[in-house]
Every structure is written in structure tokens, then in C-alpha cells.
Amino acid sequence: MTLATISPAEAARLAREGALLVDIREPDEFARGRIPDSRNHPLGGIGALDSAQPVVFLCRSGMRTGANAAKLAACHAGEAYLLEGGLEGWRKAGLPVREDAKAPLEIMRQVQIAAGALTLAGVTLGFLVAPAWFALAGFVGAGLTLAGLTGWCGMATLLARMPWNRRPAV
């Protein structure tokens, strides 16, 4: 079964009529910004959705939902759609988005910032201080390559344990 892509306006109309909006991003991404009343079912653990209503799947830009359309179609026996442009398309259409600026940046954005800063520092120090600092840039590059090949990112694991990424005790 192939999923049709629908516009944000059409998705909003379906949602008003009771359709289920399913955000397949990771919980840290969902916490930072989401469509009001959408539900978070991360792609890695998504299973059968028990809903008689139509389902609209979304991610940040529409790329993840498009790339995983067959898997998402298998999750719902009824009407199901992909949101064109994802959350960003929804936002550009002027539809409401619930933002939480106090939520930490998404882990992968933190990885990108840390990896970029470490690589830049290694190269800069390699030129200005001692060539041995180039090893820092090489180490970060090797870690990113390993993450790409295996799907496991040591830096993401480490950053997820940092105090700013932990939920405060209630």
C-alpha cells in the first residue's frame, strides 16, 4: 500500500475531523517542537496503530516519512497519509506549533555542534600549536564514520547522559 502525501491544510482539516497525527521523530525532537494534539511514536519502535480514524504521519521535513512510507503503511489498516513538508511544512503554512524553548536541543544537533567544534579545534590547534592536535579531528571523523556504518553513535550516547539532557526529578 502506498501512502498519499497531503498538504498541511488538508492534514489540519482531517485532524479537526478526528484524524490521528503521528509524529515519528525521536522523543527529544518531539519535546522541542510539535503539532498540538499530535502523538509521538518514534520510527524505531512504531508498531500497529489501533485507530479507526485516518492517520497522518509526519516528521521534521517529510524526508523520514517518505523514506519509510512502506513501513508506516503497514502500521495502519485504514486511511493513512504523509504530511507534505512535515512539521516545517505545517509551520510554513501558518498552522500552530507548540514550541518548548526550554527543552534541550535534539541529540543529533548536539552531536553536530560538538563534532564540528572538536574538528575545528583539532585543525586550528594542529596548525597553531602542534601537529599532534590533528589527531583530534581524525578521531572525531573516525567516530562519525563508525556511527554512519553501525547506527551507534558514542558521542550521542555520551551527550544524552549530560545533565542538561536529563529530566529534572519531580
Residues with catalytic roles: 59
- What is the C-alpha to C-alpha distance for residues 79 and 10, in angstroms, rounded to an integer? 14
The CA R_g of the chain, rounded to the nearest whole Å, is 20
Q: Are 140 and 119 in contact (CB under 8 A)?
A: yes
Handedness of CA 63, 19, 72, 39 (dihedral sign): positive
- DSSP structural state of residue 5: E
| Locus of grid cell 516528521 | 59
Amino acid found at 22: V
| Locus of grid cell 542538561 | 164
How many distinct helices (H) and strands (E) make up the chain? 8, 7
Q: Which three cell numbers stand for residue 143?
A: 567516530
